[in-house]
Structure 1
Amino acid sequence: MSRIALIVFVACGERVRRCREIARQRPDGGYTTETVVVVAILVAIAVAVGAVLMSKLLAKANSLDLR
């Protein structure tokens, strides 16, 4: 490993270690993760409902006779 790569590796490791310490000191770390998971689930449900509605709408539109 070259000297520059070793310096970068050590600096990155130290940065990660400091970020972990800061994250452990924050009492709201779990709340943020929970919020992200809940929002992701709600978005997935909204996409699924949108897909069902879109398929029903397209089926109805395609069944119309325009002649």
Structure 2
Amino acid sequence: MSTDIAPLMELLFDIRKNSGICETSGLNDTEIIKFITLDSNLSRAIEEAHVYHLGLRDEFDSELLMSPEID
């Protein structure tokens, strides 16, 4: 099964862009792309995380979401 990677990566970029400064590096994009092609569960998780993140953005002030992980 072929997975269209670009839209999923755009969802991740949107989450990152609206989440403030990251304190941890996590997986790099190359590893994420590789895993997306191997397991459709990651695709679903990214889509669900984006929907959840949009809800947080609607509920909370952007200043809160853009604040550092630890004050």
State the TM-score, normalized to the length of structure 1. 0.35
* Structure with the larger RCO, 1 or 2 (CA within 8 Å, 6+ apart): 2
Using structure 2 for the length normalisation, give the TM-score.
0.34
